[in-house]
Amino acid sequence: MAVVSFMLVLAFLILSIASPSNGGITSSYVRKTAASVDLPFDSLTSPPGYNAPEQVHITQGDHVGRGVIVSWVTPLEPGSKFVTYWKVGDDEHKKQAHASTNTYKFANYTSGFIHHATIKNLEYNTKYIYEVGNNNATRRFFFTTPPEVGPDVPYTFGVIGDLGQTYDSKQTLEHYNSNPKGQAVLFVGDLSYADHYPLHDNRRWDSWARLVEKNAAYQPWIWAAGNHEIDFLPENGETVPFKPFKHRYHVPYKASQSTSPLWYSVKRASAHIIVLSSYSAYGKYTPQYNWLETEFTKVNRSETPWLIVLLHSPWYNSDNYHFMEGESMRVMFEPWFVQNKVDIVFSGHVHAYERSERISNIAYKVSNGQCTPVLDPSAPVYITIGDGGNIEGLANNFTDPQPSYSAFREASFGHALLELKNRTHAYYSWHRNQDSERVVGDSLWFYNRHWYPQKESSDAATMA
């Protein structure tokens, strides 16, 4: 009898280790229910001055952080095709970078003149001032380059997704801007939601870029594309997916030997960031598949210990909205994520917030029936942060009971911060819009999967 009891206890312990606990938290916080409403056009107007540059935004311009792509639009004519820049305190040595200029048409819309200039060979960890435009319509901004890539370089990323241009979107941006820690934004897709309107009203691409300029002109946003960037409208002759997005938002994809701006990588401080496209082909032998397979071989955890992936459609999500839409991509790539010990995967698409346990489902084969996610110390934490505030509103239809792979979830709008401290530790915090930036809705000390693969513990129970 004692032997039987011992075996039962042993079996229970094994099952407890192999499977996630049912200790996940569905936040008790209740946000006031109100429809999301887009900001009116007259609140997102062009800056003063004839043909003044507008919609200014920057992103990383090379693979290691010494380049910046500066983008802007002139509404009436091409105007100046240069960006002038100089180090703070050294305005006697101004330099210029030449911009490419293009326009595009979409249905009944014709864009302004879209400029992209790549500034190269900047000094690390240095503040620069830059100007675009000319005569009485010159506009001045600034940015700070990241520290040189290295294993113990601290750096803080903001994380935002599915933003849109509603009153809630504006609150998300203001909330993030009020937090002084953020140095660059990881954006997981769904920008303007112009496709919410007839003919995918591309004026809403313009108004959205004016909205985010107050941050995106000063901090680089690392862009991933979502489903609202597809802009496929064949009944009106628009048969080229991602047309407005690719004209407006340039990224340094060639620096990572990618053949498409929809998937690429950058190194920044102590992070290697991989951006994937949920809405481009990713099956075996496709360009994205081949690129990712090669890209993982280039990751050097002694140089960039933190391995972070951005994609739009989540692989693990317990909301009935968009449930399992990312499953085919998960089946394709999850073994690589576990094998290469990806630390964190950020996604959007579901308009709520959710953080998973470290789990994988790579054991499943059609014939073996092992289709339950299990705890896996080599697996990423999956964070769904499609809660920027867009016009479609919150996804507040969580499955019940909460599945064991889900650690914390809440249907609120907000943003997150990821503070990389050194090669072993990073502090992550999610902030709902209804609180001050000092209030944390969910948090976790991340332990690096390569250098310190210990089990993490969450403060969510005390923070909810």
The residue whose two tokens read 């107050």 is 214
Are the beta carbons of 402 and 410 closer than 8 angstroms? no
The residue whose two tokens read 């210029």 is 96
Superfamily of domain 150-189+262-463: Metallo-dependent phosphatases (3.60.21.10)
Give the separation between CA 419 and CA 165, rounded to whole angstroms.
27
What are the structural domain ranges in the chain? 150-189+262-463
Are the beta carbons of 193 and 211 closer than 8 angstroms? no
Which residue(s) pair with 353 in the sheet? 385, 410
Q: Cα 113 vs. chain centroid, distance in angstroms?
A: 27
Give the separation between CA 311 and CA 159, rounded to whole angstroms.
12
The H or E element that residue 18 is part of is helix 2-18
| Set 322, 349, 431, 450: catalytic member | 322
Give the separation between CA 375 and CA 312, rounded to whole angstroms.
23
Q: Which two tokens stand for residue 216?
A: 């995106």
**Confidence (pLDDT) at 463:** 33
> Closest by alpha carbon to 408, among 388, 387, 438?
387
Q: In what order do the strands lie in the sheet with 221-223?
A: 221-223, 184-187, 155-160, 414-420, 425-432, 442-447
The H or E element that residue 335 is part of is helix 327-339
The H or E element that residue 337 is part of is helix 327-339
Query: 300-310: per-residue pLDDT in tens?
Result: 999 999 999 99
Which phi and psi (to 5°) does residue 243 adopt?
Answer: -60, -55
Are the beta carbons of 386 and 350 closer than 8 angstroms? yes
Cα distances (Å, whole numbers) of residue 174 to 110, 159, 168, 220, 413: 30, 14, 10, 17, 12
Give the separation between CA 98 and CA 107, rounded to whole angstroms.
30
Are the beta carbons of 131 and 72 closer than 8 angstroms? no
**SS3 state at 318:** coil
**SS3 state at 304:** coil
Q: Indicate the DSSP class of residue 82.
A: E
Query: 75-88: per-residue pLDDT in tens?
Result: 999 999 999 999 99
Residue 322 annotated in active site: yes
Low-confidence ranges of the chain (pLDDT < 50): 1-22, 459-464
Which phi and psi (to 5°) does residue 329 adopt?
Answer: -70, -40
Q: How many residues does the chain have?
A: 464
Total-model pTM: 0.92
